[in-house]
Amino acid sequence: MSVANLCHRLQSQVSARTAAGFAEVLRRLGAPLQVAVAGRIKSGKSTLVNALIGRRVAPTDIGECTRLVTRFQYGTVDRVEIVFTDGRKQVLPFASDGMIPAELGVDITTVSHIEAYLTNAVLQGMTVIDTPGLGSLDAASVSRTEQLLGAAKHRKEEDDEGSDELDDTSRNAVAGAEAVLYVVTQGVRADDQQALAAFTAATASREAGPVNAIAVLNKADTIAPESVEGSGGDVWKAATILSEKQASTLKPRVADVLPVIGLIAESAESGGFTSADAEALRQLADLDDDILQTMLISADIFTSWECDVPSGTRLRLLEKLDLFGISHAVEAIRKEPELTAGSLRRSLLDASGLEAVRQRLSIVFAARADGIKAAAALASVTALAHSSGDPAERQRVHDAIEVLLAKPEAHQLRLLEALTLVASGAVDMPEDLSEEVLRVGSNADIGAQLGKPGAPRPELAAHALERAGWWRSFASFGATPAQSRVAHVVHRAYFLIWQQVRES
């Protein structure tokens, strides 16, 4: 990769401290994309993390671990590492239930974060980072999250010229996640928008945008459909409408907002839903419909009503599926009485919305992981050079980056840079042109990039060539210098799309 080559080449031309930072950048380039799952306290982040990983490992009840940043990554041996602020590490086994131990047995004020290694196929392509909730009363927890998201102010460098260890500024420059999955519930609050605005991919120079951030509306089953106009009394329709409204509020900070029911997704995907649960749901399906509908009015009525299904069993179902999941499962059984436990689990998984979230993660993050990591790496390299205190070193790195970005193979980096500039408002563009830049840069599918999903290839090719010509003219005659820089990148993006469509 060209960015990796740049780091290798510059390591011998910079100070030992900056070279150490470049070594960390190189390590990150070779590692899976790091996606932080962030949001307010009690938004269901850890439940969603478990669903994404497909294993119930992240604690969901308030405890020591939920106050710490936890990085879930691939490993050949399952283990937990406590990383202390002084660099020490302590290895722990997972608890007997397969989760990170609820109590770590250490003073957590001395803990930096937790590393959890799992032999898990999902984590071979993506490191998932669970964060403490923003808005928590625990200031230390919020600080850890803010530091990960880049919101915390970089502390001033200490005068340790002789050290080749990473200083705080440099460490922060290479420690942040490269992408964020932001979890909201029914109401988007001002601090949600502030957290997204503060999120940075590796450094404060790369803000959250449609390239590296998507949001999910979690706990979609708790939305009262009568409160959402146009829902027709349907919970999922209400959640979809609300998600679209939230997307318009949060854009361009996020590529999209998708509804999801994290609790059902976790139970169905992580092995929490068992054949015994399926059998209990069959018993509920046999109840008189009037009785069952009365029981499903509230959790209290559901667990206290006298019926053949033991109260403890109903409580277990409630903890795994909540009332919406139970209702969905019963309806599925009544429609198809011979439904197996495995098919019922898949039906619940479909109802959770998790697959749509995974597909969006794949489109927004996975398909362009190398580009996102490279862009974050360049931001880190720039920050490391700026923090070196050596003007000559700073200039040397700057010149090397400019040479790299001028190369044709660096187009994807230029497009990500242009997208970030427009999304953050750093380059002011007319609204229709901003939307076009965001569309071209935010999608992996050619039809979606061109705003013509499903169109035949000749039409796509003609449109791409026409827009390439328009943006080239705009760059030369109608744009400000900053707009022209973006316009040249968009022109080339359209030209490359035209070539791709014509040759396929």
Angstrom distances, CA of residue 273 to CA of 330, 335, 347, 489: 14, 20, 12, 49
What is the reported pLDDT for 218? 93
Highest-confidence segment of 30-44, 66-80, 130-144, 367-381: 66-80
What is the reported pLDDT for 155? 32
Report the mean per-residue pLDDT for the chain: 82
What is the reported pLDDT for 162? 37
- Amino acid present at 316: R
Lowest mean per-residue pLDDT among 254-268, 322-336, 376-390: 376-390
Dig out the tokens for 162 from the structure.
Answer: 């002789």
**The total number of residues written for the chain in this structure:** 504
Alpha-carbon span 173 to 409, nearest angstrom: 25
Question: Of 126, 135, 63, which is closest to residue 99 (Cα–Cα)?
Answer: 63
Alpha-carbon span 348 to 346, nearest angstrom: 5
Question: Of 405, 406, 427, 438, which is closest to residue 475 (Cα–Cα)?
Answer: 427
Q: Are 294 and 389 in contact (CB under 8 A)?
A: no
pTM to 2 decimals? 0.74
Alpha-carbon span 214 to 219, nearest angstrom: 16
pLDDT in tens, 236-251: 999 999 998 888 888 7
Helix (H) or strand (E) holding 39: strand 33-39
Alpha-carbon span 488 to 115, nearest angstrom: 43
Highest-confidence segment of 13-22, 128-137, 408-417: 13-22
Question: Of 248, 34, 240, 30, which is closest to residue 123 (Cα–Cα)?
Answer: 34
- Amino acid present at 108: I
Angstrom distances, CA of residue 250 to CA of 89, 136, 216, 254, 440: 38, 22, 11, 6, 19
**pLDDT > 90? residue 373:** no
pLDDT class of 424 with cuts at 50, 70, 90: low
| 238 Rama class: left (phi>0) / alpha (psi -120 to 50) / beta | alpha
Tokens 């928008």: give the residue. 193
What is the reported pLDDT for 289? 92
Please give the average per-residue pLDDT across 332-337, as a whole number: 94
What is the reported pLDDT for 355? 93
Q: Are 430 and 40 in contact (CB under 8 A)?
A: no
Please give the average per-residue pLDDT across 294-323, as a whole number: 93
Lowest mean per-residue pLDDT among 193-202, 224-233, 242-251, 374-383: 193-202
**pLDDT > 70? residue 497:** yes
Q: CB count, 10 Å around CB of 224?
A: 11
- Long-range contact list for 161-167, CB < 8 A, 24+ apart? 163/17, 164/16, 164/17, 164/19, 164/20, 165/17, 165/20, 166/17, 166/20, 166/21, 166/24, 167/17, 167/387
| 389 Rama class: left (phi>0) / alpha (psi -120 to 50) / beta | left
The phi and psi torsions of 261 (rounded to 5 degrees) equal -115, 95
pLDDT class of 158 with cuts at 50, 70, 90: very low
Alpha-carbon span 90 to 82, nearest angstrom: 5
**pLDDT > 60? residue 341:** yes
Angstrom distances, CA of residue 102 to CA of 39, 57, 72, 192, 348: 21, 11, 16, 28, 28
Tokens 């500024």: give the residue. 169
Question: Of 189, 191, 187, 195, which is closest to residue 218 (Cα–Cα)?
Answer: 187
Please give the average per-residue pLDDT across 66-72, as a whole number: 83
Q: Which residue has the higher pLDDT, 330 or 247?
A: 330
Please give the average per-residue pLDDT across 345-373, as a whole number: 84
Helix (H) or strand (E) holding 446: helix 446-449
Alpha helices in 136-274 (DSSP H): 139-149, 168-175, 190-198, 235-250, 262-269
**pLDDT > 60? residue 4:** yes
Q: Which residues pair with 183 in a beta bridge?
A: 39, 216
pLDDT in tens, 85-105: 888 899 998 988 888 887 888
